[in-house]
A and B are shown apart, each in its own frame.
Chain A
C-alpha cells in the first residue's frame, strides 16, 4: 500500500520532468542545446496560474468572471509565452549564431525575474498568484470502472489508485512519449530533425532548410515546456503560482534527458526514476538502512550524481547529437 502511494506520487512528480525532458529531446536532437528548460517551465507556470486566476476572478474584483475553461485558457497562454521564449532562444542560436548555452542561462534568469516582477505588479502578494479554486485547475479524472474494480486484489488498487485519478496533463505527458517516438523515428519530419542534429551540412545539401527544421524543433520544445509549467501551477496541490516554483526541475529534466541518452523511452524511465527518488525524499526525512542512514539531502542530490556518473561514461556512454551546440554556417 505504501509502495503504491509512493509510485502514485512518483507519477505526479515525474510529469513535469517528462514534459520538459521531451522538450529538451526535440531541441537537442535538432542540434540546439537548451539549458533554458527551467526558465520556460517557470514562465509557463506563472502565465498559466496568472491567466487562470484572472479569468476566473469575479468581475467585481477586476477579473473576467468566467465560470469554465479557465485552466485550458491558462494552459494555452502558458504555451504561447513559453514558445515566445523559445523563439528568442532560436533567434539567438539559429539566426544570430550566438552561444546557445549563454542564451539558455539568460532565459532562466529572465523568467526568474519577470515572473516575480509581473506577479507582484498584478497580484501584490510577493510574486504569488491568488490560490486557485478547483474549477480553475485541472482536476483529477476518474477513469471508467475505477470504483467498481477497487476491491479486486492487487490489480484493483493499481488501476483505481495508481493509473486512475490523475489530471489530464499527466495522461498527456505519458501519451507524449510514444507520440514523440513515432514523430522522431517514423516520420520524414523526425528523420530530418535528427539529421540536422547530426549532420546539418548533409541535410542542407539535400535541399532542406536547416534553419526551418531547427526553428520547428525549438517551437515544439516551447510548447512542451509551457505544458510542463502549466502542470506545476494548475495540476499540483500548489494551486497557483509560487515564486521559483520550478525549483530546479528544468535541470533535473536535463539530467533525465542525458540519463536517457536522448531516447524517448529512456526519458520516460529516467523521469519516473527521478520522480520516484523525489517521492521518497518527500516522504521520508532520511532512509534508515540499519547499518547506516542515508540523509535526505543525498536522495535529493542523487539524480544529479547519477547524471554525472552517466556522463562520465561509467554506465554506458551518453553520446549527444553530433552537431549539438554548433551554429550552422552555410558554406559559400
Chain B
C-alpha cells in the first residue's frame, strides 16, 4: 500500500516492533498482578527448554504449525477462517473413525490413513462455510464461528452417544495397538539421542514440517497458488482475468480446513490414542495469532508457532513456579493478535513517516 517502506522493514522490522509492544504490555499485566516480569520470562524459558519441557514445546509447536498454516492459506485468498477450532475437532473424528475400523498392521499405514481422514474431515467442515460464502455471500467469519460451535456440540454428542466407549468417561475406546505412532523419544532413540520418554511429542511434527513446504510450493510455485493470491489481492481483477471466485474460495478453504484437521494426527492419534473431549484446546484460535505474526509465510508461521509453543509450555510453568494462572498465555495471545493484527498501524504509520523523511534525504 505504501512504497516508502523497504522490504526488510515490512517483513521484519514492523512485526518485531509490534511483537515487542505486545510482550511489553504483557509484562505490564504481570506487574499489575504483582509479579516480577523478568522472573516470569526466566521461568517460561526454563520451562519451555528444560529436559521435560522441550517435548511439550515441540508438541504444541506442531499443533500451531497446522492451525497457523490453515489461517495463512485462507488469508492469502483474503478469507478469514476462524473455524480452525471446529475443523481440527472434526479432523479428530475422522482420525478416530478410521483408526477404530481396522487392525493396523504397521504404524506407517495407520498414520497415512489417519492423515488422509483428518484432512478430509477438516476440509469437509470448512466446505459448507466456503460454499455459502462463494455462492450466497454469507460472511465466512460468522459461518465459521457458527461451525465451531456446531462442531463442538456434534463431538459432544458423538462422545456420549454413538462413539462412546463403555464406562463413564465421554471418550472413544482406545485405538488398536497397530495405530500407535512413534514418539520423538522412539525416533531420536534410533540415532542414540536421549529424549524425554514421557513427552507427547511424536513424529507428526514431520508432517507439520512437510505441510510448511507444501504450503510454500502451493502458494508461490503453482498456478493455483498464483490464482489464490491474485484473488486475495483484488477479487475484481481476478474475475476479470478469468479466475472463478467459487473455485478459488472452495480450494483455499478446503486446503485450510484440511490443514487444521491434520492437527488431530498429533493430538488424537499421537497423544491421546483415542478421541476425547476438547482435543483442540484453543489451538485453532492460536493459529490466527501465528498466521498474523508469521505474515502468512511458512517460515514466519514456523517461527511464530515455535514461539507460541514456548509460550504455551513455559506459561504452564508460571502457575507452578510463580502462581500466575495459565490464562496469562491467553492474555499474551490476545495482545499479539491485537498488535500484529488490528493495531498494526500504530507502528506502521510512524515507521513509514520516518522512512519517508530519511528516504528523501538520501535521494
Contact = CB atoms under 8 A, between A and B. Distances in A.
Interface of A: 33, 35, 88, 91-93, 96-103, 105-110, 112-114, 116-118, 120-121, 127, 248, 251, 254-255, 258, 295, 297-298, 300-301, 304-305, 307-308, 311-313, 320
B331 A113 contact: yes
Contacts of B32: 118
Nearest to B340: A102
B179 interface: no
30 contacts: A98-B342, A102-B80, A103-B342, A105-B82, A105-B288, A105-B341, A106-B337, A107-B334, A109-B285, A109-B337, A110-B331, A110-B334, A112-B330, A113-B328, A113-B332, A114-B327, A117-B324, A118-B33, A248-B149, A298-B153, A298-B157, A300-B153, A305-B146, A307-B146, A308-B138, A308-B146, A308-B147, A311-B142, A312-B138, A320-B139
Contacts of B156: 297
Interface residues of B, number: 48
Contacts of A301: 149-150, 153-154
Contact of A258 (B137, B142, B154, B334): B142
Interface in B333-350: 333-335, 337-338, 341-346, 349
Given A255-B146, A308-B132, A308-B146, A114 B331 contact: yes
A117 to B, nearest CB: 5
Contacts of B153: 297-298, 300-301, 304
Nearest to B141: A101
B288 A102 contact: yes
Nearest to A97: B345
Given A88-B338, A305-B146, 14 more contacts: A96-B342, A98-B342, A99-B342, A103-B338, A103-B343, A105-B82, A110-B334, A113-B330, A113-B333, A248-B149, A255-B142, A297-B154, A307-B146, A312-B136
Given A112-B327, A113-B331, A106 B341 contact: yes
Contact of B331 (A98, A117, A300, A305): A117
A232 to B, nearest CB: 18
A121 B132 contact: no
A307 B331 contact: no
Interface of B: 29, 32-34, 80, 82, 128, 132, 136-139, 141-143, 145-147, 149-150, 153-154, 156-157, 161, 285, 288, 292, 324-325, 327-335, 337-338, 341-346, 349
Given A110-B334, A297-B154, A307-B146, A98 B344 contact: yes
A100 B29 contact: no
Nearest to B323: A120
Contacts of B161: 295
B338 A110 contact: yes
Contacts of B292: 102
Nearest to A121: B33
B149 A103 contact: no
A120 B325 CA distance: 7
* A106, A120, A258, A304 interface centre (most CB from chain B within 10 Å): A106
A221 B32 CA distance: 27
A33 B142 CA distance: 11
B132 A106 contact: no
A313 B138 contact: yes
B342 A312 contact: no
Given A96-B345, A117-B29, A251 B149 contact: yes
A153 B33 CA distance: 57
Contacts of B331: 109-110, 113-114, 117
B342 A92 contact: yes
Given A106-B337, A312-B132, A96 B343 contact: yes
A91 B346 CA distance: 10
B339 to A, nearest CB: 9
